[in-house]
Amino acid sequence: MLSLRKKMGVTAASLTGLLALSSCSVLDAQATVPEDWTPRGAVKITVAFAPGGGSDRSARALAQALNEEDLGFNANVENKDGGSGAVGWSSFLGEEGNGNSLLVAEGAINILPILYDVEFEYTDFTPIALFAEDSRVVVAPADSPFEDCNDLIDAARTDRVLAGVSGLTGADAIVRTALEQAGGVEFDAVPFSSSGEVVTALLSGNVDYAPVAASVAAPQIEAGEFTALCSMTAERYDDPVLADVETAREQGIDATVSLWRGFFAAGGIDEVQRQYWIDAAKRAIDSGSFDQYIEQDMLVPTELYGDDFADYLAEYQKEMEAIFS
């Protein structure tokens, strides 16, 4: 490495030449992305969880909506599950600067770096759109002795209570932690790769309870397979099956949980590319097929784009650090 003295020994002529080359390099870099840039060919949407779960469904709904807009590319979903999201999100670091690559994510991307030594933070990626907020219904097998969430907490004071969770850092983890903190107890978490695996564990009696999405809970409750213990929403669900399910707060438990769902572009992309994806996101999210997905998954439609989404993420990060630090 050159010393500072040697670096300062550059001649005026050399310095002029270096500055000229530097200016050309900057201009060349700025010219690499034309103002009318659009993605062409294949656009990859990465999901950090297994097929069948909430993140996977949102990615496939996004891909369908984008493809229906006929924007000149074909969006495809790629699942890279493992490590409660760490594998997929870490792999997305390798897409730096790639305008043809998107990432569907949720609140777990805020939480994982708080709890574990991972390679990424959400700030490594480019926020494009938040499209919904989600919560959870706490359920148990139909033959469970538990009737509400207070029963769970009471049981955990003296016995081992197994909580089935999809990953260790998403909405399920937030619900488990919120109930633990509210009741001053601890549950034993049993992690699974997807909500589908959690349902299987509940049906087979391998876990005592689990927080699941409303769209997962409702059909199982209606079929008599699950019993609902409480919901983690601020208000009851407006749904024929779930309308009678009390919120945790109604049961005297001071806990509500909200999980964002959204997507990012790769880090290091050009502003032209960022704005393209924000505009494309608005078209996709406002489409009929995406509305149908929001309704079927019983999500709360919530739209934030670009800088507004980034501001939301910063505040959400503070909230998660307060819970998990």
Is residue 19 exposed (0-12), middle (13-18) or buried (19+ Cβ within 10 Å)?
exposed
The pLDDT of residue 83 is 86
pLDDT at 71 over 60: yes
Is residue 291 exposed (0-12), middle (13-18) or buried (19+ Cβ within 10 Å)?
middle
Span 190-196, average pLDDT: 85
Task: Using pLDDT thresholds of 50, 70 and 90, give the confidence band for residue 174.
Answer: confident
The pLDDT of residue 10 is 38
Span 110-134, average pLDDT: 95
Name the 3-class secondary structure at 324: helix
The pLDDT of residue 28 is 41
Span 53-71, average pLDDT: 94
> What are the structural domains of the chain?
41-134+259-324 (3.40.190.150), 137-251 (3.40.190.10)
Span 268-294, average pLDDT: 97
pLDDT at 31 over 80: no
Helix (H) or strand (E) holding 41: strand 41-47
Residue 241 contacts residue 269 (beta carbons within 8 Å): no
Task: Using pLDDT thresholds of 50, 70 and 90, give the confidence band for residue 238.
Answer: confident
pLDDT at 73 over 60: yes
